[in-house]
Amino acid sequence: MQYMEIHSSKMFEDIKHIDSDGNEYWCARELQKVLEYNQWRSINELIERAKIACEGSKHNVDSDFAVERKIVEAGATTKKIKDYKLSRYACYLIVMNGNPNKKVIALAQTYFAVQTRKQELLESKELSENEKRLVLRDKTKKGNYNLNRTAINSGVKDLAKFHNAGYKGLYNGETADDIFKRKKLRYREDVLDNMGSTELAANLFRITQTDDKLKRDKICTEKASCDIHFKVGKEVRNSIKRMGGVMPENLPNPNISLKEFDKVKKNDNVIKNS
């Protein structure tokens, strides 16, 4: 049973995207394949029923089910097809309208029910700075996982070189090692675990935008991939500058690493529950 839960989690995590605001979403066409529907018509029927349920729960249907028009190749020509950017809640409603006797639907129902409940708990309280960091760190981990897969598919062999290109753009020429030394971290400490929420958010934006651009531009060489990662990092830096923000390298270091904070939080929970 535990294996099935882990497997189902990976299935739906693998097709999850993160937008420029750090929000998670799933593409309906990708969800269709994972849910083993051969025809768009089948998943679209679930979507229409889910939209009615969404409206009844006073949610914003246009936000949870954002329509997208995509251009795809059809032989020698191209055509436009309809797709949706689905929120977690939208996915939850879709799978709850599916047939639970279908194993993959039952797995999806469990996954999205758990994820939706987690999000409700997060939104029900005001997060501290360190709790915000934990949420953003989790998103950057998942974002980097997706970016690594996209980079490899785009011809990247040296992932360290590729990631350093992004850091150089965002941090005015600094590599991951330069950031590590500037932050005076100990051996094997993680750079991202030692960033505040503002710095993590800037890196998350860099990661998600690079991932999207590599896919959108159909990049297929390591050099082009590294160039794009650098340019995206640089553009994020320029955006911060235009808005009068603090440059990433000038942001203060947090007083505790996320690894240490996570340990403290788990110990506190053990004490509370004992």
Tell me the percentage of the chain whose pLDDT exceeds 90. Answer: 51
Q: What is the 3-state secondary structure (H, E, C) of the chain?
A: CHHHHHHHHHHHHHCEEECCCCCEEEEHHHHHHHCCCCCHHHHHHHHHHHHHHHHHCCCCHHHHEEEEEEEEEECCEEEEEEEEEECHHHHHHHHHCCCCCCHHHHHHHHHHHHHHHHHHHHHCCCCCHHHHHHHHHHHHHHHHHHHHHHHHHCCCCCHHHHHHHHHHHHCCCCCHHHHHHHCCCCCCCCCHHHCCHHHHHHHHHHHHHHHHHHHHCCCCCHHHHHHHHHHHHHHHHHHHHHCCCCCHHHCCCCCCCHHHHHHHHHHHHHHHHC
Contacts of 53 (CB under 8 A, 6+ apart): 93, 96, 97
Highest mean pLDDT among 9-23, 87-101, 148-162, 201-215: 148-162
Give the mean pLDDT of the chain.
Answer: 86
Looking at per-residue pLDDT, the higher value among 57 and 226 belongs to: 226
Q: What is the pTM of this model?
A: 0.60
Q: What is the per-residue pLDDT for 123?
A: 60
Closest CA to 63 of 45, 86, 79, 81: 86
Predicted pLDDT at 33? 93
d(CA 141, CA 81): 31
Report which of 99, 102, 104 is spatially closest to residue 31, judged by C-alpha positions: 104
Give CA–CA dist 74/59, Å, rounded: 36
Supply angle C-alpha 154, 156, 162, rounded to 5: 115
Provide Rg for the chain, Cα atoms.
Answer: 20
Residue 21 has pLDDT above 80, yes or no: no
pLDDT of 171: 98
Give the other-Cβ count within 10 Å of 240's Cβ: 17
Over the stretch 203-245, which tens digit does the pLDDT of each residue have?
Answer: 998 998 899 899 988 999 999 999 999 999 999 999 899 888 8
| Higher local confidence (pLDDT), 227 or 138 | 227
* Model pLDDT for residues 71-105, shown as the tens digit of each residue: 877 677 778 899 999 998 999 899 988 887 888 88
How many other C-beta atoms can be found within 10 angstroms of the C-beta atom of residue 119? Answer: 16
Sequence letter at residue 128: S
Nearest-angstrom CA–CA distance, 221 and 215: 12
Residue 214: per-residue pLDDT: 94
State the sign of the Cα–Cα–Cα–Cα dihedral 258, 263, 267, 272: positive
Q: Which of 64-68, 139-143, 220-224 has the lowest mean pLDDT?
A: 139-143
The band of 62, judged by pLDDT with boundaries at 50, 70 and 90, is very high
